[in-house]
A = this chain, B = another copy of it.
Amino acid sequence: MSASPLLYLQSGGPTAVFNATAQGVIEAARSLERPLLATRDGLDGLIEGRLVDTTRVSDSEIARLSSLPGGSFGVSRNMVPSFLEAPQLWLRMRDVLQGHDIHHLLVNGGNGSMGSAARLAEFTRHTGYPLSVIGIPKTIDNDLPGTDFSPGFPSAARFLATLMREVTLDMDSMAQRRVFIMETMGRHTGWLAAATAAAAQHPGAAPHLILLPEVPFEAERFLLRLHQCLERHGHCGITVAEGLSGVDGRPLAETRHDQVYGHEQLGGAGVYLAQLIRQRMEITAHVAQVDCLQRAARHLASGLDLRLAHLAGRVAVEWALAGRHGVMTGITRSAAAVPLWGIAPVSLAEVGDQERKLPAEFIDALNLGVTPAFLDYLRPLLAAGEPVPSAADGLPDCRPIAWGALSLAS
């Protein structure tokens, strides 16, 4: 392995299958007999020269990697500014890369990270140092363009839909006029909230109302729908996206309730709705705010998500060594009842810092829900994966991988 090493970098919030991509990258590098380094803490590690050598870890440990949630190498939310904004920082990165003779960079992340990757794709032009850059998609939010889905989304969707389905039977058991609210992540987009629609196993099952950031929230219409749902079903399951905003475009979670009691609104959109329901209908709603659990719940990961996350990592290595540059490993699906999945290149410049909202044809704005077309999109993503390996205590084995000592650039 005397060839120049590739460098792999995890960036942004983790997902349940982030490390499946890492495993795909490492296994591809091993099978192609190329050394692979990885940065600690994402782009911070690249700038500060904090790298680890993945070749020091055994094949059996690498085989365990995809069973671990989180980002095994550590991540950062810091992004790379343009060369013109921070030339000294770029020259520092050049020194790090040069110190290890690295000429291939693989950036695994979401919108902002692909924006950084797009800027880094101009590295040679700005610094004269030869560097090829490949992006690998990742975000539970599913808001990256250029890919059928983003690895991480199907697993988070599977977690949310599974729990919404299970809690429906709990809610069914209880007395009438029960309201249950689940708040999902997703930032400014409604993909994760919409995904809970898969929970409904029969018509009329929860979630009955899905509140998406793509549809401005109107309190009166919502309360009317809630009233109708309680009349019809005796209870109501509601999903609300964290980014739900009012007609003025302001996120509900930031809205103050000065006009009511002079009290500050705390908590997220779910708590906001619960307070509204209590004030207007005198019903105490239950609120589940699963927060990071929805991206960490590896035990419910989607099998397809694991497979494509791994494949996207493997293909990124192959492309880098084949001389490809400036593209992301986008996921494609064929139009068929049982779709075929593939990987196709998308220009980093087209996906970086872009945001894919839930398209209009997936939104049933009138009924505060999703369309059958969205369920057709979603359902193939949700099949189960292999069970996670258990530790001796019967819980998932989550021992972290020991990547060994840092290799600091001169």
Residues on A lying within 8 angstroms of B by beta carbon are 10, 13-14, 41, 68-77, 158, 161-163, 165-175, 180, 198-199, 201-202, 261-267, 271, 275, 286-293, 295-300, 302, 379, 382-384, 387, 390-391, 393-400
For this complex, 29 residue pairs linking A to B, each with C-beta atoms less than 8 Å apart, are A10-B173, A69-B166, A69-B169, A70-B172, A74-B173, A75-B174, A76-B175, A158-B395, A161-B395, A165-B395, A165-B396, A166-B293, A166-B396, A167-B293, A167-B296, A169-B296, A170-B295, A198-B395, A199-B395, A201-B398, A262-B262, A263-B263, A265-B266, A287-B289, A287-B291, A288-B292, A288-B293, A289-B291, A290-B293
Distance from A364 Cβ to chain B, minimum over Cβ atoms (Å): 20
Give 9 nearest A-B pairs by CB, closest first: A70-B169, A71-B173, A383-B394, A170-B296, A70-B173, A288-B291, A263-B264, A167-B296, A166-B296
Interface centre among A70, A77, A166 (most CB of B within 10 A): A166
Contacting pair A267 B266 (CB below 8 A): yes
Contacting pair B266 A166 (CB below 8 A): no
CA distance A169 to B70 in the complex (A): 5
Contacting pair A400 B169 (CB below 8 A): yes
Contacting pair A264 B261 (CB below 8 A): yes
On chain B, the residues within 8 Å of A300 by CB distance are 299
CA distance A262 to B264 in the complex (A): 9
* 16 further contact pairs, Cβ within 8 A, besides A69-B166, A69-B170, A202-B399: A10-B173, A14-B170, A41-B175, A70-B173, A73-B173, A77-B175, A163-B293, A165-B395, A166-B298, A167-B296, A169-B296, A180-B292, A266-B271, A290-B290, A383-B394, A384-B390
Of all chain B residues, the one with the shortest Cβ separation from A289 is: B289
The 8 Å CB contact of A396, one of B162, B175, B202, B263, is B162
On chain B, the residues within 8 Å of A77 by CB distance are 175
Contacting pair A288 B286 (CB below 8 A): no
CA distance A262 to B72 in the complex (A): 43
Contacting pair A198 B69 (CB below 8 A): no
The 8 Å CB contact of A201, one of B296, B297, B399, is B399
The 8 Å CB contact of A391, one of B201, B287, B293, B302, is B201
Contacting pair A170 B70 (CB below 8 A): yes
Distance from A336 Cβ to chain B, minimum over Cβ atoms (Å): 18
CA distance A74 to B234 in the complex (A): 13
On chain B, the residues within 8 Å of A68 by CB distance are 169
Distance from A309 Cβ to chain B, minimum over Cβ atoms (Å): 15
The 8 Å CB contact of A14, one of B165, B173, B202, is B173
On chain B, the residues within 8 Å of A292 by CB distance are 167, 170-171, 180, 286, 288
On chain B, the residues within 8 Å of A76 by CB distance are 175
On chain B, the residues within 8 Å of A41 by CB distance are 175
CA distance A379 to B394 in the complex (A): 9
CA distance A400 to B206 in the complex (A): 13
On chain B, the residues within 8 Å of A264 by CB distance are 261, 263
CA distance A14 to B173 in the complex (A): 7
Interface centre among A174, A395, A397 (most CB of B within 10 A): A395
CA distance A245 to B293 in the complex (A): 26
Contacting pair A166 B299 (CB below 8 A): yes
On chain B, the residues within 8 Å of A75 by CB distance are 173-175
Q: Contacts A290-B288, A290-B290; is A166 near B393 (CB within 8 Å)?
A: no
The 8 Å CB contact of A398, one of B14, B169, B396, is B169
Distance from A21 Cβ to chain B, minimum over Cβ atoms (Å): 13
On chain B, the residues within 8 Å of A163 by CB distance are 293, 296-297
On chain B, the residues within 8 Å of A199 by CB distance are 395
Contacting pair B399 A382 (CB below 8 A): no
CA distance A162 to B163 in the complex (A): 14
Contacting pair B14 A168 (CB below 8 A): no
On chain B, the residues within 8 Å of A13 by CB distance are 174
On chain B, the residues within 8 Å of A271 by CB distance are 266-267, 271
